[in-house]
Amino acid sequence: MAKGILLVADGLGDRPLKELDGKTPLEAADIPNIDKFARESVCGQLDTIGTGVRAGSDTAHISLLGYDPYVYYTGRGPFEAAGIGMDVKQGDVAFRCNFSTVDDNMVITDRRAGRITEGTDLLAEAVNGMMIDDMQILFKESVAHRGALIIRGANLGADITDTDPHHENAAVLTSRAKDPEDAASARTAYAVNEFVKRSYALLKDHPVNVKRIKEGLHPANIILPRGGGVGPSMAPFAEKYGIKGACVSETGLINGVAKYVGMTIYNTPEATGGYDTDCIAMAKNIVKALETHDFVLCNVKAADVAGHDGNPKGKIEMLAKLDEMIKYLMENTPQDTYITFTADHSTPCNLKDHSGDPVAIAMWGPDVRTDHVTEYTERACALGGLGRIKGSDIMNIMTNLMNVQEKFGA
């Protein structure tokens, strides 16, 4: 059977930038291997959800795997929690969280607590397992400043507002049920607000934070949940496509999406999710996964980090690593392997956030109908033979190329 790889460079898409003389980071980067990949591929533009839709990484990956995000997405929390090994049960409400920094007036001074990387396991221990009335609180740290929260109890709803205002120099918000008549969601909002208050009380003088303050670092003195949702029921990937899938990713979120559809998770210790990540280690793990699986989803995070940081130089530097990764995969995967290289969304450096701009896509393999595209950039790929497609098209195209798709009709 042929093999398939979906390699997603998180947030890679961008817009022309003044500091790059009107070029995007892709256009300004020296990426000979990725350009070679494009020349040997069929290329196009991709809207991961729909034209002009600003996709989140969660909704984008749900769509890229061929599941309708408008049907299956209830919030990011369940995927974040599942991806770091938490057991989201029926009736639970799960959230993604940030360790953050607030001042004495509960004004956020750093949403990511200085991008903390050490001691979050000890901070998590301080809040995990508490009871709020008859509701159990389960909390676990994830990568860097991230974590996940599960609220477990009877009669809970997930239709609530966030406590995180999503920017610095703003006060922590009070969560509320979006519908005042929704008693179940009001109960969840109460638990969230109480958790946030208690997290500050427990963490502000925690030894980890005392040490950070002495070192001139921002303390992780509060936990802010957001993206609450209930766990969706999704058809297993193997059942949907008739192939065995695996996932190589750097973040709990993408692992969570993959885990929800029954894909095997391959962890890569050298993959940090930041600028210092080891893309070759991830590539080697993909090759290893292909020994026992038919299809591998891989997400590489740092281009998105660069976009959010407004750092085009960082995105270009990350592209050099992706260039070597593409070369390794082209040279070390079985001959009957099809590789799709794309992004889950654009994160323009001048916006520092996701946008609805389409992203470049290239599909490479032994008998792909190549086109006249000679370089992998947003504008060059727009002229490719794929045209402009949606994320929901990718698995149809790949399973067709892999010759594993069931025929529709007689």
pLDDT per 10-residue tile (average), the chain, 410 residues: 97 98 98 98 98 97 97 88 87 94 97 95 97 97 92 95 94 96 97 98 97 97 94 90 97 89 95 95 98 98 97 98 98 97 98 98 97 98 98 98 94
**Same domain, yes or no: 129 and 266:** no
Q: Give me the pLDDT at residue 21, please.
A: 98
Q: Are residues 145 and 249 in the same domain?
A: no
Question: Residue 112's domain spans which residues?
Answer: 80-229
Q: Mind giving me the DSSP string for 299-359?
A: EE-HHHHHHHHT-HHHHHHHHHHHHHHHHHHHHHS-TTEEEEEE-SSB--TTTTS-B---E
Q: What is the pLDDT of residue 1?
A: 87
Q: How many domains does the chain have?
A: 2
Does 45 map to a domain?
Answer: yes
Q: How far, in Å, are 250, 347, 362 from residue 254 at the CA level?
A: 8, 17, 21
- Pair 193, 248 in one domain: no
Let me know whether 292 and 396 are in one domain: yes
Find the angle CA(311)-CA(339)-CA(232) to the nearest 5 degrees: 75
Residue 33 placed within a domain: yes
The torsion defined by the Cα of 8, 10, 13 and 15, in degrees rounded to 10, comes to: -170
For β-strands 131-132 and 264-266, DSSP reports them as unpaired
Within a domain: residue 407?
no
Task: Give me the pLDDT at residue 300, please.
Answer: 98
Say if residue 17 is in the same domain as residue 133.
no
Give the pLDDT score at 305.
96
In a domain, 269, yes or no: yes
> Does 238 share its domain with 357?
yes
Q: Do 65 and 88 fall into the same domain?
A: no
Between helices 207-214 and 120-127, what is the axis angle to 10°?
140
What phi and psi values does residue 67 have, to the nearest 5 degrees? -105, 140
Same domain, 205 and 276: no
Contact 84, 142 (CB under 8 A): yes
Q: Domain boundary at 212, 229, 246, which?
A: 229
- For residues 26 and 133, state if they share a domain: no
Same domain, 67 and 89: no
Domain endpoint, select from 207, 229, 251: 229
Among 144, 145, 147, 376, which residue's Cα sits nearest to residue 276? 144
Same domain, 13 and 95: no
Q: What is the pLDDT of residue 347?
A: 98
Q: Single out the residue in 204, 229, 254 at which a domain terminates.
A: 229
In a domain, 408, yes or no: no
Q: Residue 406: inside a domain, yes or no?
A: no
Q: Are residues 247 and 175 in the same domain?
A: no
CATH of the domain at 360: 3.40.720.10
- Asked, for residue 380, whether it belongs to a domain, the answer is yes
Pairwise CA distance, residues 116 & 136, whole Å: 26
Whether residue 334 is contained in a domain is answered as: yes
What pLDDT was estimated at residue 266?
Answer: 96
